[in-house]
Amino acid sequence: MPGAVQHLRKKGYATLPDIYSPVEVAALLETIEAAEATSSNFRRSQDVFAIRNLLGEIPQLREQLLTPRLREVLAALFPNATPHLTKAIYFDKPAGSNWLVAWHQDVMISVDRRLNLLGYGPWSSKGDEVTVRPPHAILESIITLRLHLDDCDETNGALRVVPGSHRHGVILNEEHSSYTPQAVTCPVPAGGLMLMQPLTLHASNRSTSPHPRRVIHLEFSTAELPNGLQWRERLELHPTKERHSEPARNLAC
């Protein structure tokens, strides 16, 4: 675990296999597939199926996700304070999907309202969702954990990342091409996690495989927003009884 944390800090990403067992992965998929897709947060097309505000829509996933192994990972990533969940999304990239994600950084956060705050902006609103680009310190406080529910490699949409790009702040779109020649692909086995800093430049290619790529995207932070502004999906991680589990193995792609 320390090796993966160090790699994340230095390179902006890392992977950890075997955080969830096949049984736990199957239970997560069963819960997701049984959910009633009636809300506007369920978005389905030929090339992608996504559920935004995942734990708000399917609250029973919370205990299934917050396993002792995941809590061990979070304790290693946030050694000085217990983080809160700030965002949860489910992505399903079906076999042969033409959906791709261009090079970008995750620079916007979802909040509960719009306020006039120094260092916050631009703002964006879509429906009842308000997003804003916060100051650099807030973005640096966030760590993304992508739980892969299927084996994922370059054929079915594994993320490509630019090592160390998180250390360059917000990179202008027209400057991406000067960074992307250094990109690497990060395969992740089912039940594994990909860890990422939001400012890490990343992309996802179209799928050329008959296999799906289903991912639960979780963002955590210990940061508090100013003047009463709140993370829109904020969820506290309450302590739980410790149970023995094997230490997570390290693998940095």
CATH number where 163 lies: 2.60.120.620
Q: Are 249 and 18 in contact (CB under 8 A)?
A: yes
User: Residue 44: is its pLDDT beyond 60?
Assistant: yes
Q: Which domain holds residue 45?
A: 2-236
Q: 41-45, 71-75, 82-86, 194-198: which has the minimum mean pLDDT?
A: 41-45
**pLDDT mean across residues, the chain:** 90
Residue 243 within any structural domain of the chain: no
- What confidence tens digit (pLDDT) does each residue in 189-221 have? 999 999 999 999 999 988 888 888 899 999 999
Give domain status of residue 27, yes or no: yes
**Nearest alpha carbon to residue 197 among 173, 171, 175, 172:** 171
Mean pLDDT of the 16-26 span: 98
Residue 245 lies in a domain: no
Q: Packing angle between helix 68-77 and helix 2-11, nearest 10 degrees?
A: 50
- Domain membership of residue 246 (yes or no) is no
Q: 154 with 187: CB under 8 angstroms?
A: yes
In a domain, 53, yes or no: yes
Q: pLDDT tens-digit profile of 128-146?
A: 899 999 999 999 999 999 9
- Its pTM stands at 0.90
Inside any domain, residue 242: no
Asked if residue 165 has pLDDT above 90, the reply is yes
- Cis ω before 122 (30° cut-off from 0): yes
Q: How many domains does the chain have?
A: 1
Q: Is residue 192 part of a domain?
A: yes
**Residue 75 within a domain:** yes
229 CB neighbour count, 10 Å cutoff: 19
